[in-house]
Structure 1
């Protein structure tokens, strides 16, 4: 029994001693700083779409047409931290879906929807 307790005590001292003296790597410290600063960030998402009259949905809620968010002073504003689903869709085209997390910066998203049927109408 005595050897077992001595081994546990030695291990506890070694682990506790190493953990107390060890500093976090600079990358871990920087990552924590970035995570803390990202909380509560907002972001502006500028949308440039083909076709420009495609519908824009944010987290499943319709926001307007893509052209509503395509200018210098017009953008989709996000105020909540975390990932948001951004969907661009129009009848006759495959929908486009991506995820965006506000970073405090203005970001431009270029979307070109693909038609469901190839142009030209079909087989020769």
Structure 2
């Protein structure tokens, strides 16, 4: 009798473990995880437009690739280093932490050599 009762209990609990959560509950869990790990988009308006963009030291493309709607630099959660540079200009470095929103960054690089037309 004990063996039959034990077998029935094991079968019952094993059946419970195989149940899947409803799709709406899975989607809610996914949305909650995204809310805890915010990401965002960063639109870059640069002068010169062909300056290179680096995210955490990794080349992402040119500024013109991320100039606005719908183009923007996708940034994951956490604090990130954004660097914009071009040969002949001083590099620009800033730090960005996304907050699930689109942000806009306007950058004007300064020439690193003597000014054009100067007598230096």
CA displacement at 1:39 relative to structure 2: 3.5
Structure-2 residue corresponding to 1:120? 116
In the alignment, the residues of structure 1 paired with residue 92 and residue 73 of structure 2 have an alpha-carbon distance, to the nearest angstrom, of 16
In the alignment, the residues of structure 1 paired with residue 70 and residue 57 of structure 2 have an alpha-carbon distance, to the nearest angstrom, of 24
Structure-2 residue corresponding to 1:22? none
In the alignment, the residues of structure 2 paired with residue 119 and residue 97 of structure 1 have an alpha-carbon distance, to the nearest angstrom, of 22
Picking from 43, 53, 78, the partner of 1:46 is: 43
CA displacement at 1:59 relative to structure 2: 0.1
Normalised by the length of structure 2, the TM-score is 0.67
For residues 27-84 of structure 1, what are the alpha-carbon distances to aligned partners after superposition, in whole Å with 9 as ceiling and x for unaligned?
xxxxxxxxxx9730010000000000000000000000000000210000112x2110
Runs of 4+ with deviation above 3 angstroms: 121-124
In the alignment, the residues of structure 2 paired with residue 77 and residue 105 of structure 1 have an alpha-carbon distance, to the nearest angstrom, of 11
Unaligned segments of structure 2, at least 5 residues: 1-33
Between the two proteins, the alignment pairs up a number of residues equal to: 87
In the alignment, the residues of structure 2 paired with residue 106 and residue 66 of structure 1 have an alpha-carbon distance, to the nearest angstrom, of 16
Preserved CA contact (<8 Å) 1:47 1:66? yes
Alignment of 1:1-124 (within 5 A): 39-79=36-76, 81-120=77-116, 122-123=118-119
In the alignment, the residues of structure 2 paired with residue 110 and residue 39 of structure 1 have an alpha-carbon distance, to the nearest angstrom, of 28
Normalised by the length of structure 1, the TM-score is 0.65
Unaligned segments of structure 1, at least 5 residues: 1-36
